[in-house]
Amino acid sequence: MSGDFYTYELVNSLTNNIFYVGKGKNARINFHEYQARRLVQAPLYEYIRQIWEQGGRVIRRKVQRDLTEKESHGIERQLIAKYGRENLFNRTEGGEGGSSRVGRYASITLEIRRDLLEGVEWKIRLGRYRSRREVIEEALMCFLSDSQDE
């Protein structure tokens, strides 16, 4: 089977240690660094900031691509078991995350209208975001290219 999902690993460039395993689609692989830049307080994001402070970078490595969501859940669980959750920042054994942000995040719709001279018209249905800016920041992260993958 093939699909839109992938599994990925985040690696500390200073130590070459894998510190997080995940599954996702689109630009999900970039989300953790985005949260770290926003100064979100969580052990994973604090660790990413430590890597940066020490002059390192986060290596984003896609392990397997073109997976169904179910396949990506299974591979994520296998990788977490292989590396040992005690050696990772993963909070669970994997496989329970959903692809939909409904209920947890707002639905985001971006519509490009060619007839507008100003460029892009953003249609945003606000949900549980704190502000319109937070919605726009999230939307930009979701649609960024993951060209920096290794």
Amino acid at 87: N
Q: Domain map of the chain by residue range?
A: 5-143
Q: What is the pLDDT of residue 40?
A: 87
pTM: 0.65
**Average pLDDT rounded to a whole number, residues 64-75:** 92
- 9: phi then psi, degrees, rounded to nearest 5: -125, 145
Query: What residues are paired with 111 via a beta bridge?
Result: 121
More confident position, 100 or 103: 100
> If pLDDT is split at 50, 70 and 90, which confidence band does 98 have?
low
